[in-house]
Amino acid sequence: PDDRSDVCFISPSSMAMLNFGLTSEYFVTDWKGLELPSKALTLMPINDNVEEKVGGSHWALLAYFRPLNTFRMYDSMGTNLRAQAEKAASELSKTFQADNARFEIESDSPRQTNAYDCGAYVCVLASELARCFILNQRLMRKDDLQAITPEVVRQRRAAMWEVAKRDRQARGGTALRVWKSRGCP
């Protein structure tokens, strides 16, 4: 089966709204058009910012898998974002119509070996979780997760960089200058 309509990606900026003191009713109303109660898999980047302004220094991925009624966190540095992930899962349960949803930390999540690839891991994990679900109607197993190595992430990061370079709107833009100043390829 190739049912992409069953998968939803939530943007980082939308997830940041959780830090602005909004009630769960806000998300039920504001995100109604996403039809989250009908999605089998929803992927959400989260970070360690807890303030009502843009910030944070570490990213992880939170996935909601409806067939198991489970929120699962994938963190390339371990469990650093457990509190933020549990808060997001708790606050979004009503939006997903996910009463009594479980929360889990994926202990086999791929681990980064440097201090800067957390965002790249989130991108690769989101892509691979979606691919696995679309092809197999399941989440990734331990062997699937182990295939996401630092080298795979490095290659994907390089590929994302090439796409950004080809994008006329991004060429010479702030995002590219910041990326390059941080030593990214």
Instruction: Please report, as a single letter, which amino acid is at residue 182.
Output: R
**Domain extents for the chain?**
4-148
Tens place of pLDDT per residue across the chain (185 aa): 455 789 999 999 888 888 887 888 888 888 898 999 999 999 999 999 887 777 888 999 999 999 999 999 999 998 789 999 999 999 999 999 999 999 999 999 999 999 999 999 999 999 999 999 999 989 999 999 999 999 999 999 999 888 887 776 655 555 544 444 444 44
Residue with tokens 């791929």: 110
**64-68 contacts at long range (C-beta below 8 A, 24 or more positions apart):** 64/36, 64/39, 64/89, 64/92, 64/96, 64/98, 64/101, 65/40, 65/41, 65/139, 66/39, 66/40, 66/41, 66/96, 66/98, 67/40, 67/137, 68/102, 68/139
CATH fit for domain 4-148, picks 3.40.395.10, 3.40.50.300, 3.30.70.1450, 3.40.718.10: 3.40.395.10
Tokens found for residue 181: 């100043």
Model pLDDT, residue 85: 95
Query: Across the strands, what pairs with 71?
Result: 64, 103
Model pLDDT, residue 1: 46
